[in-house]
Amino acid sequence: MVQRSVGFGRGILFCRWLDAESLGHWEMAYGFLLLAAPLAVLGLPGSFGRYLTRYREDGMLWMFLRRTAAWTFGLAAVAVATLLAFRGQFAGLVFGEPNQTLMMTAVAACLAVVILMHFLEAVFAGLRLFRVVSVMYFCQSMLFAAGALSLIRFWRADALSVIVAYGAGCLATSLGVLAWSAFRAEAAPDAAPGLSHRQFWPPLMRFAVWVWVTNLLSNLFAVIDRYMIVHCGAFTADEALAQVGNYHASALVPMLLVSIANLLVGAMTPHLSHDWEAGRRGAVSDQLNLTLKLAPLVMLAAGAVVLACNPLLFGWVLEGRYAYGRAVAPWTLATCVWFGMLLVSQTYVWCAEKSRRAAWPLATGLLANIGLNLVLLPRMGLLGAVVATAVATLIAFAIQLWVNHRVGMRVSPGLFICGLSPLALAGGLTTTLPLLLAAGVGVLFTDLLVDAQEKRLLTSVARGYLARAPFNRLHRNPSVAS
């Protein structure tokens, strides 16, 4: 919670202290790092969660780490060298400005330390040392915030300060965890003889390449609209980056809903996986159905609060600097709700161990996003890009539900109604508030949205939480209070 609060406060100050064009430079640089880091190393660290513990139990941990580290950092060196050698061309690709070679050089250096940090995160996550990973994220977030705001204030108020601070935060965190590991690591050699490279690499790379494809689709899905604005809109380079900056400002609060969806996925997955392994497939389907009905309605209510606060946010907090961002904010809000629901709906195929099925909705949504942007962006500008992304995200969500149904999930009719409800956010409070009222009536007094079985399940869950509530335990055990 502290880390997310720091990130939100950092984002607010970025929007206040940077102009829209500089904010667009940072948004494009960060999107490129998000895309390039796993792409450069062929997704290899993504396989650690599955294979690292196995090699540790087999007594070959150090062999695994030596080989994967050599491969990862060798590929990273090639990627960084390529960026430096062709920095003008990459600057044109990323920023739409081939003359931004200094900024591209900073991005190349930043990519190296981002890959290092991602590698270390994957190692500790693979070893089930999740507290270490959490501390790494926290330290990097704090260092990034402190460094970026200091550099913007006292060095230069542009994206270069933010890029340098982001890389410095990753580097300091990585060096810190390496120093900690040097004192904690066991010096004993592997207990088992090493495998030949022919035995070692094929199964690892088959899994890693599929992780790479999935990550590529996910990351492209997240950034493709920004690249469409830079390269396919009827803007000059400066205007395009300013539009990206406005887009970034419009997503400042809505992205918190995506974070909530991620937390929900993290909380649900262990319980759903347990039910799945116990053979209770119907229970998994029922719980996910109920979640996918209630979560959009809860986020719709949260979205209404955000819409009511937008005049204060854009007018006072952001000093009226992002008029285009304010205009598209309702559509950005709807997009973030649908994207959060897409993340939640993917949980079913993870539980079914059919993770490849999550790639097809992303691929279809990506193609839809490109096609819609080509049509809407030249005609509607930034609003066209945001509407295209919203529709593409809804398409991906709908296809994921269809995939889940094909795998075995029961999809009730009420889910489709609840899934479409975020569309009301695009019309502002005039459409959101009446729909919220209608949804409340529908949930409480009819079975159209939530049927009788789901209401019983919801009541059972609520009673379980109330039974574990602190005030209830005190009531049942008065001696504790005395």
What's the domain range around 136?
A: 1-185+194-243
> Do residue 447 and residue 336 come from a single domain?
yes
Residue 390 lies in a domain: yes
More confident residue, 214 or 295: 295
| Lookup: tokens for 418 | 């609840």
Look at residue 1 in the predicted model and tell me its pLDDT: 65
> Do residue 309 and residue 345 come from a single domain?
yes
> Do residue 77 and residue 135 come from a single domain?
yes
CB proximity list for 431: less than 8 A, separation 6 or greater: 424, 425
> Do residue 24 and residue 89 come from a single domain?
yes
Domain boundary among 202, 217, 243: 243
Residue 475 lies in a domain: no
CA distance 52 to 42: 17
Look at residue 438 in the predicted model and tell me its pLDDT: 92
Residue 477 lies in a domain: no
Q: Is the model's pLDDT at 178 over the cut of 80?
A: yes
| Lookup: tokens for 143 | 């260092």
pLDDT tens-place string over residues 18-76: 999 999 999 999 999 999 999 888 888 877 877 887 888 778 888 888 889 999 999 99
> Do residue 150 and residue 260 come from a single domain?
no
Instruction: State the pLDDT confidence band at 84, using cuts at 50, 70 and 90.
Output: very high
Residue 30 lies in a domain: yes
> Do residue 273 and residue 316 come from a single domain?
yes
Mean pLDDT of 342-352: 89
Of the candidate ranges 156-170, 290-304, 353-367, 464-478, the one whose mean pLDDT is the lowest = 464-478
Of the candidate ranges 33-47, 178-192, 242-256, 262-276, the one whose mean pLDDT is the lowest = 178-192
Would you call 59 exposed, middle or buried from its count of C-beta atoms within 10 A (0-12, 13-18, 19+)? middle
CB proximity list for 438: less than 8 A, separation 6 or greater: none
Look at residue 480 in the predicted model and tell me its pLDDT: 42
Q: How many domains does one find in the chain? A: 2
For the chain, give the mean pLDDT: 89
> Do residue 43 and residue 136 come from a single domain?
yes
> Do residue 59 and residue 109 come from a single domain?
yes
Residue 327 lies in a domain: yes
CA distance 167 to 145: 12
Q: Is the model's pLDDT at 197 over the cut of 60?
A: yes
Look at residue 192 in the predicted model and tell me its pLDDT: 66
Residue 473 lies in a domain: no
Dihedrals phi, psi of 465, to nearest 5 degrees: -65, -40
Of the candidate ranges 83-97, 406-420, 441-455, the one whose mean pLDDT is the lowest = 441-455
> Do residue 211 and residue 165 come from a single domain?
yes
Domain boundary among 175, 210, 243: 243
Look at residue 374 in the predicted model and tell me its pLDDT: 96
CA distance 430 to 427: 7
Q: Is the model's pLDDT at 482 over the cut of 50?
A: no
Look at residue 425 in the predicted model and tell me its pLDDT: 96
Instruction: State the pLDDT confidence band at 4, using cuts at 50, 70 and 90.
Output: confident
> Do residue 144 and residue 262 come from a single domain?
no
Mean pLDDT of 359-368: 94
More confident residue, 198 or 397: 397
> Do residue 100 and residue 43 come from a single domain?
yes
Residue 89 lies in a domain: yes
Instruction: State the pLDDT confidence band at 369, using cuts at 50, 70 and 90.
Output: very high
> Do residue 279 and residue 214 come from a single domain?
no
Mean pLDDT of 76-97: 96
Of the candidate ranges 78-87, 348-357, 370-379, the one whose mean pLDDT is the lowest = 348-357
Look at residue 166 in the predicted model and tell me its pLDDT: 97
Residue 476 lies in a domain: no
Q: Is the model's pLDDT at 470 over the cut of 70?
A: no
Q: Is the model's pLDDT at 198 over the cut of 90?
A: no
Look at residue 464 in the predicted model and tell me its pLDDT: 67
Look at residue 159 in the predicted model and tell me its pLDDT: 96
Q: Is the model's pLDDT at 188 over the cut of 70?
A: no
Look at residue 481 in the predicted model and tell me its pLDDT: 44
Domain boundary among 243, 265, 284: 243
